[in-house]
Amino acid sequence: MPGTKTLTIIKPGAVSHEYIGPILKIINDHGFHISAMRLLRLTRKQVENFYAVHNEKPFYNGLVEFMSSGPVVVAILEKKNAVIEYRRLIGHTDPSKAEPGTIRKMFAESVERNAVHGSDSDENAEFECDFFFSRSERFSLFDPLHF
Ligand code: IDP
Ligand code: MG
């Protein structure tokens, strides 16, 4: 059964352009529930660990520099089939290849400064949600204690 949560990051470029509100509105309008959220600045070490799978890639150093360059919003989004649905909503990694109406098409500046992150599998979503949020910081739709 596909999972119900994914991790997003509104990246420094989008935050500095005051796109937090517009992006969160699109997320809500597409039926995602925000079950955890925080505004913070990532350390280089945190970015290196978060993007460890890319550490051999030519863009890795630039990515670490960019992602630690200013505040970001991290959030857990819930919806049926969340990972796939959110990847569809954000669009292609390279905004010039992203479909109209996708978040990256609307808000990305370049392939690196592409506005948002979205988990690429349920397994990575688990890792990424655990990377940022403890149990007590999550308010799941599926938890009868909260909703
Ligand atoms: P994704 O974010 O669509 O899953 P990944 O391949 O996982 O894309 O790459 C992680 C992030 O690294 C991208 O979102 C983007 O910020 C950056 N990135 C990926 N490919 C390139 C590139 O070719 N040049 C510069 N930055 C890149
Ligand atoms: Mg990825």
Boundaries of every domain in the chain: 5-137
Q: Which residues are catalytic?
A: 117
Which one of the ligands is nearest to 87 CA? 1
Q: Does 66 have pLDDT greater than 90? A: yes
Mean pLDDT of 1-5: 93
β-pair partners for 37: 75
Q: Does 1 have pLDDT greater than 90? A: no
First to last CA, the chain: 23
This model's pTM is above 0.85? yes
> Looking at residue 147, what is its pLDDT?
86
63 lines ligand 1 (CB under 6 A): yes
CATH classification for the domain delimited by 5-137, as one of 3.30.70.141, 1.10.10.10, 3.20.20.100, 3.40.640.10: 3.30.70.141
> Which atom of ligand 1 has the smallest separation from the CA of 92?
3
Confidence of residue 26 (pLDDT cuts 50, 70, 90): very high
